Chain A
Amino acid sequence: MIAIVDYGVGNLFSLKSSFAAIGAEAVVTGEADVLRAADKIILPGVGAFGDAADKLRACGLDRVLVDEARRGKPLMGICLGMQLLFEKSFEYGEHAGLALIPGEVRPIAELIPPTLKIPHIGWNALRFTEKKSPLFRGVKEGDCVYFVHSFYAADCAAAVIATAEYGAELTAAVQLENVCGCQFHPEKSGPVGLNILRAFCETEGTTC
């Protein structure tokens, strides 16, 4: 069973529907016990980093996520959920994340030419890093996925498994052992996105 973390951030309807569409059982939950019992965890999120991190902490789920990830349970962060996996973010101040993946979250504006629009909104092509992640087994280099973001994951080269070109190489997906994340929205990326979610469902955990 896949647990989609509900901590009062974002619309989880599409995410839940997309798992139903690939025949995976998924529950939306804010309960620590359900997260502990789940085979895999999805950490979604839209909005501002600081608010989301505060909400996770307020309901005590930050500790649960870190503990479950350290036990080897597959965890995927999506969009802001991916950014929360990092050590810190500089979105409106400086905020601590879950620190499951080394790196930090910075404004795209620092990186790209001022002529390009921010947020980076729309369908952009994936470029894989040298060693193709099993998450992309159903995806071809150049397949497009749907992005909406104004901040990006920086200083995380060792964990990057895909990038997207937008005036610079933006981090599109990361993975460090059982913890992974997509900056784009797989649940809004058509068949390509569903294939990524399907691959995540088939990931073997190392939970003992």
Chain B
Amino acid sequence: MITKRIIPCLDVRDGRVVKGVNFQGLSDVSSPVELGKYYSDSGADELVFYDITASAEGRRLFTDILTEVARTIFIPLTVGGGINSLDDFDRVLKYGADKVSVNSGAIKNPRLIFEAAKRYGDQCVVLSADVKRVDGVFRVFARGGRENTGMEAISWIKNGVSLGAGEIVLNSIDTDGVKKGFDLEMLDAVCSAVSVPVIASGGAGGIADFVTLFKTLPRVDAGLAASIFHFGEVTIPALKAELRKNNIPVREV
């Protein structure tokens, strides 16, 4: 039986892990390599690295770190942030990424999904969507959640899947950083619309939120979180033990 995946997310800027609350007020947390190794050893099923660096120098720093991570950690690695072209795909795949997550780059140029899926396979292309309710409608936001694209989220995500996205990371801006649980309503709408794996992101405040997520929405494949893991509020072994107790299949380490 396929297991539910637990995925810590590491936002990396200038070679360090940072985490924003509602995408603002970033604070330096730790070394990506050390933190990645710690998570892998404690049972993380996958790691996501978002490169939130803007400068070329920071980009180089990021690929150096990615290589170091891929040399020491043998679980799937997804990389996102600043992916705007096939060259960007090439760059991170060459340095050790297994999957590449596109967000604003795909909003600017949806064909990027198609071209990347054709070259590297659907399994390599993850569509990450930052979604927020605006007047009761799910809208897609770009540029790290700062800009309302006006696009309706469900049709954007369906379009992404038809272009070749192999997985969806759904990040609810409404619940992100609030720590009161995942956005079940939004996730349910996306799971009903697409048949590729859906990864829930935004809102986890504790172990119970993951139990609720997988119990309420069995179609969700994975739960992603950052700060609750980085600050040790939730450890992955404790989280997995609780999921197992609730008959939710998870990988043992």
Contact = CB atoms under 8 A, between A and B. Distances in A.
Given A117-B197, A124-B1, A47 B121 contact: yes
A189 B74 contact: yes
B251 A144 contact: yes
A60 interface: no
A123 B167 CA distance: 15
B5 interface: yes
Contacts of A146: 75-76
A21 B3 CA distance: 26
Interface residues on B, range: 20 to 34
Contacts of B96: 11, 13-14, 17
A117 B3 CA distance: 13
A34 B74 CA distance: 26
Interface in A35-81: 46-48
B40 interface: yes
Interface string A7-49: 0000101100110110000000000000000000000001110
Nearest to A79: B123
A122 B197 contact: yes
A134 interface: no
B74 A18 contact: yes
Interface string B79-102: 000000000000001111110000
Interface of A: 11, 13-14, 17-18, 20-21, 46-48, 117-125, 142-144, 146, 148, 165-166, 187-191, 193-194
Given A11-B96, A13-B70, A190-B75, 8 more contacts: A13-B95, A17-B71, A21-B71, A46-B120, A123-B2, A144-B3, A165-B1, A193-B74
Interface of B: 1-3, 5, 40, 45, 67, 70-72, 74-76, 93-98, 120-124, 166-167, 195-197, 221-222, 251-253
